[in-house]
Amino acid sequence: MSIIKAIATEAEASEVIRGLALEAEWVYEEQYKLPNGKKIDFLVSVEGEGELLQFGIECKPQLHTAYERGTNVTKLASYFEQCAAYARELNLPVFLGPYVIEGAWTPSGGIRLDSMDAFNLFAGRVNVGTLACSTYPPYHHYDFWALVLRGKRMWRSEGHKAGYNTDVATMVTSQGAKKERESILVPLS
pLDDT tens for 63-113 read 876 555 566 778 888 999 999 999 999 999 999 989 877 766 666 566 666
**pLDDT over 50 (residue 2):** no
Is 40 within a domain? yes
51: number of Cβ within 10 Å: 16
Least reliable range by pLDDT among 81-85, 129-133, 140-144: 140-144
Is 66 within a domain? yes
**What is the Rg, in whole angstroms, of the alpha carbon atoms belonging to the chain?**
16
Give the chain's domain count. Answer: 1
pLDDT of 169: 87
| DSSP sequence for 95-149 | EEEEEEEES------SSS--HHHHHHHHHGGGTEEEEEEEE-TTT-S-EEEEEEE
128 vs 28: CA distance, rounded Å: 18
**If you average pLDDT over each of 2-6, 14-18, 48-52, 180-184, which comes out highest?**
14-18
Domain that holds residue 34: 10-187
Is 1 within a domain? no
Give the helix ranges, DSSP H, for the chain: 10-24, 73-90, 115-123
Is 4 within a domain? no
**pLDDT over 50 (residue 1):** no
pLDDT of 6: 64
Is 34 within a domain? yes
Is 171 within a domain? yes
Q: How confident is the model at residue 59 (pLDDT cuts 50, 70, 90)?
A: very high
Give the pLDDT confidence of 167-185 residue by residue, as tens digits: 888 888 877 788 888 888 8
CATH code, domain carrying 166: 3.40.1350
Share of the chain above pLDDT 70, in %: 81
Is 2 within a domain? no
pLDDT of 165: 84
108 vs 153: CA distance, rounded Å: 12
DSSP 34: P
Is 43 within a domain? yes
